[in-house]
């Protein structure tokens, strides 16, 4: 999509810059939301891609994970999509110029480094942009929140209300 700005040199047409923010989002947390909100300072549009990570067995269905994100981000600049195939192919199909990821610590960095090298090899035209996670969310992960919820701990500091409720219903009596 193109955008038009009137400058002192006349109208200037620029391409809208879209980033793809992929992840499992099982479920989404305030940490993910923070990355999306800050990503919107850099990009015109963010597509949040709910992807398949073959090494994870999700608690929530794809539709549920997409639904939590849609409820949290109703605005037009954030689109929620289901990613089916190879990340770089999906990013190109969706017209993205970059992949956006959050980094919390050194182990995230090691993992992201390998993924970025592979994605860069497969699609050199796509950049990966990292945002450092907000210090408040450095220790948060979806698995840890599920573990706390399973044992009846308080999770409302980490996830939106609808997610907290769904976690309580799904895990509360296990």
Catalog residues that contact ligand COA under the rule CB under 6 A. Answer: 22-26, 29, 31-32, 35, 51, 53, 56, 86-87, 102, 104, 115, 118-119, 133, 137, 140-143
The two structure tokens encoding residue 29: 């947390």
- CB-nearest residue to ligand COA: 31
Would you say 15 or 117 has its CB closer to ligand COA? 117
> 3-class SS at 135?
helix
In 3D, which of 171, 162, 169 has the Cα closest to residue 144? Answer: 171
From the candidates 24, 30, 32, 101, which is the catalytic residue?
32
Q: Which H or E run contains 21? A: strand 18-23
Active site residue 104: yes
Sheet holding 78-82, edge to edge: 78-82, 45-50, 18-23, 98-103, 127-132
Rounded to a whole number of angstroms, the minimum distance from the CB of residue 6 to ligand COA is 37
Would you say 56 or 82 has its CB closer to ligand COA? 56
Rounded to a whole number of angstroms, the minimum distance from the CB of residue 37 to ligand COA is 11
Active site residue 32: yes
The two structure tokens encoding residue 126: 């796509």
Q: Catalytic positions, please?
A: 32, 56, 104, 142
């Amino acid at each position: 999509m193109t955008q038009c700005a009137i400058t002192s040199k006349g109208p200037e047409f620029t391409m809208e810059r879209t980033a793809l923010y992929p992840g499992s989002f099982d479920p989404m947390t305030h940490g993910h939301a923070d990355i999306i909100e800050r990503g919107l300072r850099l990009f015109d549009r963010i597509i949040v891609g709910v992807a398949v990570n073959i090494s994870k067995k999700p608690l929530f269905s794809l539709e549920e994970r997409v639904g939590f994100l849609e409820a949290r981000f109703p605005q037009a600049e954030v689109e929620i999509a289901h990613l089916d195939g190879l990340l770089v192919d999906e990013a190109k199909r969706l017209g993205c110029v970059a992949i956006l990821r959050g980094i919390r610590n050194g182990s995230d960095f090691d993992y992201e480094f390998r993924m970025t090298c592979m994605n860069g090899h497969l699609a050199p035209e796509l950049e990966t942009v990292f945002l450092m996670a907000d210090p408040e969310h450095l220790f948060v992960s979806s698995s840890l929140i599920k573990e706390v919820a399973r044992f009846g701990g308080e999770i409302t500091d980490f996830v939106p209300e609808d997610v907290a409720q769904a976690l309580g219903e799904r895990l509360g009596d296990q």
